[in-house]
Amino acid sequence: MQHGPAVRRRKLGAELRALRTGAGLTSGEAARLVGWHQSKVSRVETGASGVKPTDVRLLLDAYDVRDAQLRELLLMLAGSEDVGGRHHWWHAYRGVLPPTYRDFISLESQACGMRTLETSVVPGLLQTPEYARAVTRAAVDGLAEDRLDTLVEVRLARQDVLRSQPPLELSAVLDEAVLRREVGGPDVMARQLERLAEAARLPQVRLQVLPFAAGAHIGITGPFVIFSFPSTSDLDVVVLDHLTSSVYLERKEDLQAYTEAFTTLQVHALSPEDSLDYLAGIGHGA
């Protein structure tokens, strides 16, 4: 288990090492091409030290990597603030957002796919402003109103990934408790259920409800998110969210276990079509 920045360094290093060997270069040869000492190449590839986006560009040029999507992703992992002409908007909130949240947003913004199990609240990407405000107020005790406004603003800005081109592909399994828990009052929940139904009809969203009738299930221990990235599955990561921090799982065994768990949850959940009907029933007081 690692925190976000360490995971990014390790994944970036592993990918750079694979690209170097694919180019038929030793670490010493790569170092000479970019004017470094061999030890620096080794530290970067093992994730022992960070690397600047400008240095990543040097290595990618030396390895003759021309895949624009892969270059963009690796530059994002290196912490580039302006990749592909898109400024990382969340940097404007650096003084407000904790590092783990900023790191989550950076991964979310560059992922091509997101699979999530939610057992308590509606996924942030599908929340209405009123629901987001009620959840944030409940989660952070004694929050000043201006700070609350900012956090809600960030939550809504994150939702742009579903409208980008290409959009993030979102697959969400929601425990029925998410839909039954009254957050913000009946009017807020009514609008939130409508929003879920609207989102479920989007081609980039697959929404499934896991009803109480399904009984105990493999996800009962808690929610999780699996991020998938374009060009390579080696960069995929699982995120487990806790009250004060997030934990990132990157080992292939962990990814396989959570991927299989999510597939099992999808099998036991209602189909997307039946889930829409279920949402409508709850909305009408069923």
pLDDT one-digit tens code per residue, 79-127: 665 544 445 788 788 788 887 788 788 888 878 999 999 999 999 999 9
pTM of the model: 0.82
Q: What is the pLDDT of residues 183-203, one digit of tens each?
A: 999 999 999 999 999 999 999
Q: Where are the beta strands (DSSP E) in 124-181?
A: 169-175
Contacts with 109 (C-beta within 8 Å, 6 or more apart), sequence order: 76, 88, 90, 158, 161
Query: Can you tell me the distance from the alpha carbon of 13 to that of 15, in angstroms, rounded to the nearest whole number?
Result: 5
Contacts with 133 (C-beta within 8 Å, 6 or more apart), sequence order: 148, 152, 184
For residue 139, how many other CB atoms are within 10 A of its CB? 11
Q: What is the pLDDT of residues 207-253, one digit of tens each?
A: 999 999 998 888 888 899 999 987 666 678 899 876 556 788 888 89
